[in-house]
Amino acid sequence: MSRQIADGFQAPTLTELEARVRGLESQVARLTQLVKELSGQSGDTR
C-alpha cells in the first residue's frame, strides 16, 4: 500500500509551494486580527 502511495506522489512545484505559503500568511494575518478583536485589542498603543 505504501508503495502505491509513494509511486503516485508528485512533489509540489516551487510555484505551488509559494502559493501555499502566501495563503497561510493571509490566514495567519486574519486569525491574528480576529484574536486581537476578540481580546479587545484594537492595535492602539495609547
List the chain domain ranges. Answer: 12-46
The per-residue pLDDT for range 4-36, each reduced to its tens digit, is: 666 778 899 999 999 999 999 999 999 999 999
pTM given for the model: 0.62
User: What's the pLDDT score for residue 33?
Assistant: 96
Q: Report whether 36 contacts 42 (CB < 8 A).
A: yes
User: What's the pLDDT score for residue 9?
Assistant: 82
Terminal C-alpha separation, the chain? 60
User: What's the pLDDT score for residue 7?
Assistant: 73
In the structure, what pLDDT confidence band is assigned to residue 44 with cuts at 50, 70 and 90? low
Element (H, E) at 8: helix 2-8
Above 70 in pLDDT, residue 41? yes
**Where do the DSSP E strands lie in the chain?**
none
H helix count then E strand count, the chain: 2, 0
